[in-house]
Structure 1
């Protein structure tokens, strides 16, 4: 879609609106020609009010739309008013032209729960928070209810946090194979076997440096999460080395939640699970993504649905009483019937947590390159509708987030039996306190709870680069210590 901006340069706002209402389009900043049938001209004019006009054409059908709102407050507030007016005018024009309202209305951000959270903390009732989402942002009733439920879980988590607490993420960027939908920086362990042991050595050094920072600054770890990749790609001995070092040097005395993503059932065995239990890990993820064997094959998984059941049963026998299982709606060759069978099968196993993701077409994935047969947006929406109505019977939604290029402009939702919500997932997604991320691809978010200031520190993405990044990591640890002081 060709985009022309007059009187402003709010490209991001306009592009997000375009992706929301016209997900198959991509922005092009070129003059509009006589034969063009997909374009938008977005004009901003100001006096004591903000006047926005959008002229929109899509597949030869065109429509003008105008909106004006008062400009009040300081320059920072006025800038926010301009952006909201431009975004709202584009949304209303596109909605009028297409006759379609996305389930999340005009919201395009990753964290839609922040809006109702602010409303509830300001004194609004849950009903008022839902009404604001519906009336001001055009969010559908079911998504508004979902967001408010998650906002209430976020507030409960926030109130449980104590001053000086942080969360810690440990990244293990290796998998037995790379899934077709994945864009994370995860290495196929079959091709990078020689990197695994040096990576563990480097990670132990970063753990030591981080422990010194936390001890000197008086910080303690409230929740601990080892993710990836697939952490159980490591051997039992390597897992034991990492977790032993964490116990020896990190301030874990007040840690109430230790999670490890076991993830792929083809990496799980009794020895590894017993190592995790011996180190106090209480929550594991065993992630089928689907129980349809032909879909598992299509996404590059080298295991069967039967292997998932075996891994789950083994985790229970070893003593894990909190298990999360992930499913993805919209996988290649899947269908509404297949997704329903997968969810019903997972429910029959009885995990405490079920996370339902929507497939996002990420640029780094092989799936987007080979363009496999994918369910349409409407069918994916039906999958999520089924998950919502089915899981509401015994589970509560406790965190959610959205991504770009997601099927049907939908969402990812974590569901939990009451009392089993993952604190780490909430604090990470809602940015409630500092999350320190170690390992390749880790992004630390340092948050000052008083001022709201946020500082990001990024580790090298690739395992090879991480191995030689000792000085960079040491410098980041010095920055971290200065931030805490």
Structure 2
């Protein structure tokens, strides 16, 4: 596909809309160029200022000798935001007519539609925000209601974030195997087993150094999140060492939750559950993704549905009363019927929270490299059934986000029974407080409470880099101190 940008700066928005309707197409962007004479799809987007000060915007889809277009005239004085909105709507409508597909999030392609809804609601009121989403952004009634309900539930959680609070993220970038849909930086234990002892040793030290920084800045730790990867790919002793490093280094008197992604059911053992329970872990995830063994095999998971059920029962026996389970809609070989069966079996277990993801075909994922594409209609059917079933059984949506290259431009939604919402997920998604992060691939996000400005400090991505260049990572902790000294220079540190 060729995308022509003529006379406007809306490259990013136009490319995202093209990817929304043609997710598997490689997009070549040309500035102020003529339409190429070729058989492939060419998308022209142009904006010209007329003599009277008005603006003429034009979009065309050209396939060989066939061409379809739309135009709109904007009044003189139309600001850039209005120009961008009208061009996006016009291109979306042209694509929808051409392909017979109306994405339910309309022209919205960003990660945080709920945050956007909240912004409009704060400025104009909830009713006007609903109207704007449906009439201007072309969001469906169902997705608008999902955004509204999620925002209402998020508001209560966001009120818990302290101005001097922060969350701690610990990265464990190891997995038993790599899933076919995965694009995260993670390493299989089989290939990198020899790195794990040194990695854990250095990570414990980074945790201690991070605590020194937080204590110097008088920050209050509110949530802890061990993510990955699969943290339970580590041994029980290694997990215990990391948890102890957190507990011994940080003041946890203001900490509201301590989460460990147990993730793969085949990594969950009695001794690891004991280590987490003794360490004060209050919430774990056991993520089946599906309870269909054929689908599990297709995505490279080495466990079975039976192992998921067994791991869940084992966690209950060990006293875990706050368990999350992740599911993915749109997986290869899954159908609306088999997804429904998975959903019903998970609801029978009655976990405290359920996160329903939509398959995202990222560039680095094996499924994408194999040319696989998801079925948008099937994925939407799966989400519709899941959401109805979750609402009927007492779960409520409390956070929502989207990813690029997500099947059908759909969403990931966290659902929880009242009182079991994961605060960390909301804090990081809504960027309402700083996140101090440790480990390979971890990204510290520093938030200025006065301006909402975000500054990032990156650790090296891969475990071998983390080990080889560890001193550089420790040196970057100074950037955290420098950030807070700039944002509040009068405060005595």
The question of whether the paired residues in 1 share the 8 Å contact of 2:106 and 2:138 is answered with: yes
* Distance in 1, Cα, partners of 2:12 & 2:36: 23
The question of whether the paired residues in 1 share the 8 Å contact of 2:359 and 2:374 is answered with: no
Q: How does the TM-score come out when normalised to structure 2? A: 0.93
Equivalent in the alignment of 2:328: 328
* Distance in 2, Cα, partners of 1:280 & 1:61: 65
* Distance in 2, Cα, partners of 1:229 & 1:236: 16
Mapped pair 1:303 → 2:306: no
* Distance in 2, Cα, partners of 1:50 & 1:388: 43
Equivalent in the alignment of 2:56: 51
SS at match of 1:261: strand
Mapped pair 1:36 → 2:35: no
* Distance in 2, Cα, partners of 1:355 & 1:431: 20
* Distance in 2, Cα, partners of 1:415 & 1:462: 32
Mapped pair 1:258 → 2:261: no
Equivalent in the alignment of 1:84: 85
Query: CA offset at residue 270 of structure 1?
Result: 1.1
Equivalent in the alignment of 1:243: 243
- Tell me how large the CA RMSD over aligned residues is: 1.8
* Distance in 2, Cα, partners of 1:341 & 1:100: 27
The question of whether the paired residues in 2 share the 8 Å contact of 1:42 and 1:52 is answered with: yes
Distance 1:244 1:37, change over 3 A: closer
For these two proteins, the number of residue pairs brought into alignment is: 479
Query: CA offset at residue 295 of structure 1?
Result: 1.1
Query: CA offset at residue 50 of structure 1?
Result: 4.0
Equivalent in the alignment of 1:187: 187
The question of whether the paired residues in 2 share the 8 Å contact of 1:433 and 1:447 is answered with: yes
SS at match of 2:476: helix
Distance 1:94 1:472, change over 3 A: same
**Which runs of 5 or more residues in structure 2 are unaligned?**
486-493
Cα deviations by residue, 1:430-449 (Å, 9 ceiling, x for unpaired)? 11111122111111111112
The question of whether the paired residues in 2 share the 8 Å contact of 1:166 and 1:219 is answered with: yes
Query: CA offset at residue 253 of structure 1?
Result: 1.6
The question of whether the paired residues in 2 share the 8 Å contact of 1:170 and 1:226 is answered with: yes
Q: How does the TM-score come out when normalised to structure 1? A: 0.94
* Distance in 1, Cα, partners of 2:352 & 2:123: 32
Bigger shift: 265-274 or 94-103? 94-103
Query: CA offset at residue 49 of structure 1?
Result: 4.2
Equivalent in the alignment of 1:429: 429
Mapped pair 1:62 → 2:62: no
Bigger shift: 9-18 or 57-66? 57-66
Equivalent in the alignment of 1:378: 377
* Distance in 2, Cα, partners of 1:128 & 1:315: 45
* Distance in 2, Cα, partners of 1:150 & 1:357: 15
Equivalent in the alignment of 1:23: 23
SS at match of 1:199: helix
* Distance in 2, Cα, partners of 1:138 & 1:40: 21
Distance 1:71 1:438, change over 3 A: farther
Cα deviations by residue, 1:377-418 (Å, 9 ceiling, x for unpaired)? 211111111111111111101111111111121111111111
Equivalent in the alignment of 2:223: 223
